[in-house]
Structure 1
Amino acid sequence: MTISSDMLNIVQDKMAKAAKLAQRNAADVQLIAISKTRSADEVRPLLDAGQRIFGENRVQEAATKWPALRVEYTDAQVHLVGQLQSNKAEEAVELFDAIHSLDRISLVKALSKAMDKLDRRIACFIQVNIGEESQKGGCAIVDLLSLLESARAEGIEVAGLMCVPPSHVHPAPYFALLAKLAKDHGLEKLSMGMSGDYETAIKLGATHIRVGTALFGARP
């Protein structure tokens, strides 16, 4: 057994325990293995161990890595979890199975145009700047409804909400707020929780957790 598959087993075990404590079905939580900056050779052991959903931050990096991997692993999914420039919308729609960083009207329009052109619809999560941090992406909480309405008007499937809480503070209040916002707006899915806090996120309703370091180890 490789280090990667050992780490996958540990993460899956912690996911199951967190779901049980929250009286949830562990199968309702999807693990996104964050493979940004990781080579195909680093990703392959997790694929061999059965992991099928991966997350990338940049369109260009994903485009150099995943087309070849998907020839070998035809059922692998790749989600974009990083910020997306509007001029990369068409490439993103062509490459990814979901986008977790829809955060502005201009991107709504670019993605809608790209989906129409490629005749490919992919689910999107609206990223909310849950901690109101100027250095982070995501729409302001007060702008969420208008962005959601714009996306729906453009025919974009909004699956749910995504957030990255402020660092160095307990994430639970921010996860709880995102869950409330999703409920208030009729959205079922929550993309929240990373290596350091995914168990807390699961207890507060996460349907998608984005885990990198806990699966691949620390970056150099």
Structure 2
Amino acid sequence: MSLSEIRTRIAKAEADAGRPAGDVTLIAVSKMQPDDRVEEVLKEGQRVFGENRVQEAAGKWPMFRETYDGIELHIIGPLQTNKARQAMELAQAIHSVDRPKLATTLARLAQEIGSCPELYIQVNTGEEPQKAGILPADADAFVAECRGLDLPVQGLMCIPPVEEEAALHFALLAKIAERNGLAGLSMGMSGDFEKAISFGATHVRVGSAIFGARD
């Protein structure tokens, strides 16, 4: 599938959901992709990208930013506290704020640096023990805690369990966001982004459908 096909499908999903065109931001997930593939997508005009690992992002994006204007980088993978400063200096958004210790670290660094990327709180909607994220029952308290630290929380993020109906998880995330007055919903990937858009996703994270399978 091509980038233009994905954009067409997003536009159709927006229209089907009665949402304005351009309401949804496509994050092209470039983790583990070779530079030449990433550059092809940049040449097609895509400017919003997602990386899982800060190390990999640091090795790739400063170089691309020298050639291409307006690149917006989103960290979408688990973030270690010792990589938080590097993430904040590199990225415009972090989608994986998933524990109080990380929130406190980000707040301290934001004071030092004088700025902070947009933040999304990761909610473990499937309550999976192996997955990062705040449990749904703890989400309201954690949103309040982050706000108390003056963190710029824009919304919530989730990764539904592979074997469960994604719609249930998208609906749950939207409900938690709504009652906390949060507009951003980072949800939906290559296989289910249209469904996510119907539940209000503002950011969809699409990798393999744009770049093809990873080597």
Structure 1: distance between partners of 2:35 and 2:110: 28
Residue deviations 1:177-209, cap 9 Å, x none? 111110011101100000000010011100000
The answer for the alignment partner of 2:73 in structure 1 is: 78
Residue deviations 1:38-91, cap 9 Å, x none? 122211111111111000000000000000101111210110000001111111
1:208 aligns with 2:203: yes
Residue deviations 1:131-186, cap 9 Å, x none? 11111111011111221112111111100000000102220111011111100111
Query: Could you list the runs of 5+ residues in structure 2 that have no partner in the other structure?
Result: none
SS at match of 2:64: helix
The answer for the alignment partner of 2:96 in structure 1 is: 101
2:185 corresponds to which of 163, 186, 190? 190
How many percent of aligned residue pairs carry the same amino acid?
49
Residue deviations 1:96-125, cap 9 Å, x none? 100000011100011111111111221100
The aligned amino acid for 1:196 is: G
Structure 1: distance between partners of 2:21 and 2:193: 13
The answer for the alignment partner of 1:8 in structure 2 is: 3
Structure 2: distance between partners of 1:133 and 1:42: 33
The answer for the alignment partner of 1:3 in structure 2 is: none
Give the conservation status (yes or no) of the 8 Å contact 2:126–2:161: yes
Structure 2: distance between partners of 1:189 and 1:63: 26
The answer for the alignment partner of 1:132 in structure 2 is: 127
TM-score, normalised via structure 2 length: 0.97
The answer for the alignment partner of 2:175 in structure 1 is: 180
Give the conservation status (yes or no) of the 8 Å contact 1:160–1:190: yes
2:157 corresponds to which of 123, 139, 162? 162
| Number of residue-to-residue matches in the alignment | 215
Query: Could you list the runs of 5+ residues in structure 1 that have no partner in the other structure?
Result: 1-5
Give the conservation status (yes or no) of the 8 Å contact 2:94–2:119: yes
**Runs of 4 or more consecutive aligned structure 1 residues displaced over 4 Å after TM superposition:** none
